[in-house]
Amino acid sequence: MTKKLKRILYIDDDEDILIIAKLALEKIGGFCVQTYKDGTEIVSYAEKFKPDVILLDVMMPVINGSSALELIKKNDSLKDIPVIFMTAKERSGELSHYLSTGVAGIIPKPFDPMSLSNEISILWRQLNDKI
Amino acid sequence: MVAKWLVDGRNLILPIFIFIITAALSVYLHNSLRYREFNFVSTLVEEELKKIEQIIYFQTNDKFLSIKRMAQRWEEIGSMPFKQLDTDSRNYAVYIGDGEEEFYNNNVDKKNLDTKFSIERQIDIHDKKWKIKITPTNQLVNNHQSTLPLIVLISGILIATLLAIMARYILILQIKSRNIATSNNLNNEFISTVGHELKTSLTSIHGVLGLIVGGVVGEVSDKLMDLLRIAYKNSERLNYIIDDILDAERIESGKIQLNLQTISIRPLLERAIEINSVYDKKYGVTFTIEGSSEGQEVIADKRRLMQVMANLLSNAAKFSPKDSNVIIRIKTQPGKMRIDISDKGYGIDTMPRDSVFKKFLQTDYSKIEPREETGLGLYITKCLVEIMNGEIDFYSEKGKGTTFFFTLPIAERLDK
């Protein structure tokens, strides 16, 4: 039976986007969402919050999405948490190379707040089906 | 300007090195040729000396007479052997004596002699010591010295100079092309960054409007909702425009990078339909694939081919009547694969044929929702097909539908 998706950790340097995504995911998806502006402490955030899924912006000033992903994958207790990239970097079709870095999925920005929860749920189900 | 170019200190080491090596080589060649000529003249002088030795040897076989007495006798009998020397040795100044007294001197003007080839030797002939000195004339030396070594030297120096200038020119061109590449990279980075920043801002605008329009933050009046819906749709359209403008810019400036590979077309088309299923649901059409690629593969960039299919499938869906079929047909032709996308829409009849693939194509907006149209889709599609070495065109019949078709080169099979 598929584990229910409940907790989402989202790291993005754009505060406005964090507010919108948190609102959309909580109100529409009913998820418990925690957001941060900087991914430097991603390991401690994840260890404390214990998310089911981590959403990561790709282009962030202090630590970018790829480096933050690396920190997660290096940690034995966190490495199995699916990481989804949220990126405004060009069009979605051009982002397939990220998938080879261990990313569970890519959601291009601008995302539709009304279907964001659904998109993440679909990815979550696909990942669980694979397992 | 030339002076500035010449003294510009950047990358002078290689041209100078090339000049020194080439010039040194030409000096070496010059000296070698000169040395050979020098040796030849020295050999001639040496041979002449031996000839004189032999004459003396055969003419002075009376070992009981002193050299002086022999010389006196030669004088008496008619200057033998020196008469023969006069005839044979007009190109040399010859001196013969016994070390104390001179017996013979052919009296060639000293000014005409080249003393660096002079040979002076003490020789024992029939137990008597003869001293012979022989010096060639300038004329003889000149006759055996050519201008070739000098030509080689001058040509060598000229070639060295030319090579050095060429090396410098190539280095400058390299620096310039490196600068252009850097500037292109910066430009690429700039475009990518601008695109990223625009989309980041758009995410907030689109997100806020989406949440309000979706009713997540509470109810708003109908009038306000109508206006917010317009804003929401246009924020979505702006995203398409940004994507298309970035693509068009990349194509036009030749910055688009292709990853050409062999692709099985049928699975790719099936995947394209799956990805673009949003359109068939939205417009109530069905995408159907007909035909087979007969196990053959095309050479294309997978991502870009997907983009081509997305554009053509979304176009076909938009212009199709509800509950109709959009047929995707695969046809194999000599050396190429052709893919047709046919809709049963109202056809293209109101615009000139050649304007269909032009930038900012103006369509009848009443027939499609404004947010779907950027006017760049078919232009980008055509460019992408062409840079993948394919062709694209369409045929249309009013009221019956339109078929867009494109070709891609078939990959050569290794087992053939």
Q: Can you tell me the mean pLDDT for B241-264?
A: 81
Asked if A61 is an interface residue toward chain B (Cβ–Cβ < 8 A), one would say no
> pLDDT tens across B81-110, in order?
555 555 555 788 888 887 777 777 777 888
Has residue B355 got a pLDDT over 50?
Answer: yes
Burial class (CB in 10 A: 0-12, 13-18, 19+), B221: exposed
Has residue A89 got a pLDDT over 90?
Answer: no
Of residues A14, A96, A114, nearest to B214 (C-beta): A114
pLDDT at A69: 93
Has residue B413 got a pLDDT over 60?
Answer: no
Give the least confident one: A39-48, B201-210, B341-350: B341-350
Could you tell me the sign of the dihedral formed by the alpha carbons of A112, A113, A115, A118, in that order? positive
**CB atoms inside a 10 Å sphere around CB B1:** 5
Has residue B282 got a pLDDT over 80?
Answer: no
Coil, helix or strand at residue A36: strand
> pLDDT tens across B195-208, in order?
888 888 888 999 99
Interface predicted TM-score (ipTM): 0.80
Q: Can you tell me the mean pLDDT for B317-333?
A: 89
Contact A49, A57 (CB under 8 A): no
Name the token pair of B21.
Answer: 């090596």
Tell me how far apart the alpha carbons of residues A29 and A32 are, in angstroms, rounded to a whole number: 9
pLDDT at A88: 83
Task: Please report, for residues B25, B90, B136, B211, the alpha-carbon distance to residue B139 in angstroms, rounded to integers and kept in the order given.
Answer: 30, 11, 8, 109
Burial code (b: 16+ CB inside 10 Å, e: under 16) for A32-67 equals ebebbeebeebbebbeeeebbbbbbbbbbeebbbee
Taking phi over 0 as left and psi of -120 to 50 as alpha, with beta for the rest, B413 belongs to beta
Average pLDDT, chain A: 88
The residue in chain A having the minimum alpha-carbon distance to the alpha carbon of residue B239 is: A110
> pLDDT tens across B34-47, in order?
898 889 989 988 98
Has residue A84 got a pLDDT over 60?
Answer: yes
- B207/A110 touch (CB, cutoff 8 Å), yes or no: yes
Contact A26, A33 (CB under 8 A): yes
Confidence label for A96 from pLDDT (cuts 50, 70 and 90):
low
- B199/A17 touch (CB, cutoff 8 Å), yes or no: no
Instruction: Identify which of B216-225, B232-241, B385-394 has the greatest average pLDDT.
Output: B385-394
For residue B297, what are the β-bridge partners?
B264
pLDDT at A98: 72
> Which residue from B23, B70, B40, B225 is spatially nearest to B142, judged by alpha carbons?
B40
Give the least confident one: A32-46, A106-120, B66-80, B230-244: B66-80
Interface of A with B in 71-90 (CB under 8 A): 88-90
Tell me how far apart the alpha carbons of residues A32 and A26 are, in angstroms, rounded to a whole number: 6
Of residues B206, B213, B243, nearest to A91 (C-beta): B243
> Which residue from B342, B340, B337 is spatially nearest to B293, judged by alpha carbons?
B337
What is the end-to-end Cα distance of chain A in Å, rounded? 11
pLDDT at B198: 86
Burial code (b: 16+ CB inside 10 Å, e: under 16) for A86-115 equals bbbbbbeebbeebeeeebbbbbbbbbbbbe
Asked if A107 is an interface residue toward chain B (Cβ–Cβ < 8 A), one would say no
Has residue A116 got a pLDDT over 90?
Answer: yes
Contact A38, B228 (CB under 8 A): no
Question: Which residues of chain B does A14 touch, with a Cβ-Cβ cutoff of 8 Å?
Answer: 200, 203-204
Coil, helix or strand at residue A84: strand
Coil, helix or strand at residue A65: helix
pLDDT at B303: 83
Q: Can you tell me the mean pLDDT for A114-125?
A: 92
Instruction: Identify which of A9-18, B70-79, B105-114, B133-142 has the greatest average pLDDT.
Output: A9-18
Contact B258, B299 (CB under 8 A): no
Name the token pair of B73.
Answer: 């006798």
Tell me how far apart the alpha carbons of residues B292 and B312 are, in angstroms, rounded to a whole number: 19
Q: Can you tell me the mean pLDDT for B392-412?
A: 90
Confidence label for B247 from pLDDT (cuts 50, 70 and 90):
confident
> pLDDT tens across B110-149, in order?
888 888 889 988 888 777 778 888 899 888 888 888 888 8
Confidence label for B68 from pLDDT (cuts 50, 70 and 90):
low
Tokens 């962030």 belong to which residue?
Answer: A60
Asked if A14 is an interface residue toward chain B (Cβ–Cβ < 8 A), one would say yes
Name the token pair of B380.
Answer: 């980008």
> Which residue from B98, B110, B157, B163 is spatially nearest to B137, judged by alpha carbons?
B110
- A14/B204 touch (CB, cutoff 8 Å), yes or no: yes
Q: Can you tell me the mean pLDDT for B22-40?
A: 90
pLDDT at B251: 81
Has residue A36 got a pLDDT over 90?
Answer: yes
Interface size A-B, in CB pairs within 8 Å, comes to: 80
Contact B255, B184 (CB under 8 A): yes
Interface of A with B in 38-57 (CB under 8 A): none
Has residue B179 got a pLDDT over 80?
Answer: no
Q: If residue B277 lies in a helix (H) or strand (E), which one and from where to where?
A: helix B277-283
Has residue B33 got a pLDDT over 50?
Answer: yes
pLDDT at B330: 92
Confidence label for A93 from pLDDT (cuts 50, 70 and 90):
very low
Which amino acid, residue A121? S
Instruction: Identify which of B47-56, B251-260, B293-302, B335-344 has the greatest average pLDDT.
Output: B335-344
Average pLDDT, chain B: 80
Sequence-ordered list of residues with C-beta below 8 angstroms from that of B374, at least 6 positions apart, any chain? B237, B240, B241, B244, B245
More confident residue, A45 or B15: A45
pLDDT at B248: 81
Has residue A77 got a pLDDT over 80?
Answer: yes
Name the token pair of B407.
Answer: 């070709």
Q: Is the pTM of this model over 0.80?
A: no
Confidence label for B397 from pLDDT (cuts 50, 70 and 90):
confident
